[in-house]
Chain A
């Protein structure tokens, strides 16, 4: 009962919830229909696979971002962090190839390095935010710049590339799969399903929502607010590492422009999906829908000559706003 709202109550709380649930799904369905109408290849196996697989990186990161935002935080560093972790992973693998040859253990160590680097990066963000007590926006804005510079420095301003033979060995992790479903898609689905379960059915998920909703209440309810907050950033870091494991085999390279604006896409996907930017409520399945909406817009624009390429950004922006308007309509009428 916030008294600040002077608007009239329609007295029907049920409607709000419905629209929140249906909003993003409606937007997704609308996009699918538009895509089908504009290009017959839209629903082809190859195109659907492409769209889902390319959604996987941002999707996996966005699942982690959902937890951070639900707990009232924010992480702007994920795009740069991904680039840095990718660069580090490539450097380590190239180095090991010299001594160990083009072998599976090199890939496994590379994967371990990526996951560990993501984890450490998450811990650094989390510690600075929870223990040192700096605003999440400032901390991650800072680390965003730091990682972006580090990758530029590691790559000497150019591109870090995996050795050709190693790339061939590692390649199937992005391009391969089982039963016609490629690995990135499988990874994305697994992360999303686990994320949804953790968010809705575990104490951790509930604690995230409680902290985002009212940190003081959470503290008075004997929840270790700092630990849970820290855990959200660590989880996100780990998922960034995991996304990189899927990303590196795609082009086998990392440069200063890797992961550019991923943080904003991930945050946009989370918000489109119905998670509140101020925290307190999050849903992972919504984030997945949000990621797909963003990917589909790009895909449809590439498949058609519908609008001038100069206006791609405008279309994306409009769809993002529309998707959020759809679900918030009920809420503002409350």
Chain B
């Protein structure tokens, strides 16, 4: 993934020179969820940074960034962008697929360039460009790691996120990878991508199950909560914890060879940068940019952890 990102950035850089003088002024709208949890926070961080950077490169273009706490607000944000800012291109991470499919379709029908990020729309073929992480691969990578490293008959617990399509895809991938491995999933419940909820849930699981060999937390925030509960119960040596998304603290633990946290799974929030950059290139007509762009999840191991550690990222 990192390679692709670097490649596109280079591409943008290469195109700047000849483009900047003659390009028409375009307005690009970016609509993403508000920073209500760590991953979304990082998404905002990357979106803002990318827009800053692109503004310097393309002073003639305008960028409109709107963050939204829920689907309804996002719909009105989009309407405002079209009505008052007259956007020529839209980069959108839909809060939910179903309610936003209609509004985004109308925008696409009016001839506006639409880049959909991460969460697919309910109807196919609306967007010009689709940039997404691979949720199935996110769960599958973790599950595959368990299947590869744990013994047959090993016992694991799984912490899901907030009930949603994203969560379902991840869990399906996870379960598919474990299928036939002989590993037993003791319990699976929603930790809501929240540290406190995960802490409480893990405490109760530790009371309930005398033997747990591994914990899968479908997000690093939850992994942090689970680790604190395990430490409190004094059962640190007994199990491993695999999270996901590549949070700074977790990557640091892997880097330093923590035996409880041997690996992590990526789901890079920087995909928004990729999406915005590709959109700018696409809308100015510099290069054909339509289609799908799927960023598969990778396994972070002590060997490659350095590549995934971003000192100044908030996440």
Residues of A at the B interface (CB closer than 8 Å) are: 39, 41, 44, 46-47, 50, 54, 152, 155-159, 161, 175, 250-251, 253, 255-258, 260, 298-299, 302-303, 305, 309-310, 312
Contacts and interface: CB of A to CB of B under 8 A. Distances in A.
7 contacts: A41-B208, A44-B207, A47-B207, A50-B203, A158-B314, A257-B194, A302-B205
Contacts of B213: none
A250 B198 CA distance: 12
Contact of B41 (A155, A251, A258): A155
B64 interface: no
B34 interface: yes
Nearest to A159: B38
A257 B37 CA distance: 6
B37 A256 contact: yes
Contact of B36 (A44, A50, A256): A256
Contacts, number: 98
Given A157-B315, A250-B199, A251-B225, 12 more contacts: A46-B207, A54-B203, A157-B41, A157-B45, A158-B35, A158-B45, A251-B196, A251-B199, A257-B37, A303-B208, A309-B189, A309-B190
B204 interface: yes
A41 B209 CA distance: 9
B118 interface: no
Nearest to A299: B204
B208 A302 contact: yes
A250 B231 CA distance: 11
A302 B199 contact: no
B152 interface: no
Interface string B22-63: 000000000000111110111111000000000000000000
Q: Looking at chain B's contact residues, is the secondary structure mostly helix, strand, loop, or mixed?
A: helix
Nearest to B200: A54
B298 interface: no
Contact of A251 (B42, B187, B208, B224): B224
Nearest to A46: B207
Nearest to B193: A257
Contacts of B255: none
A175 B40 CA distance: 31
Given A255-B221, A310-B163, A50 B204 contact: yes
B233 interface: yes
B196 A155 contact: no
A175 B232 contact: yes
B194 A256 contact: no
Given A250-B228, A251-B196, A305 B41 contact: no
A211 to B, nearest CB: 34
Interface in B96-128: none
Given A157-B44, A158-B38, A47 B204 contact: yes
Contacts of B40: 157
Interface string B193-220: 1111001110111111000000000000
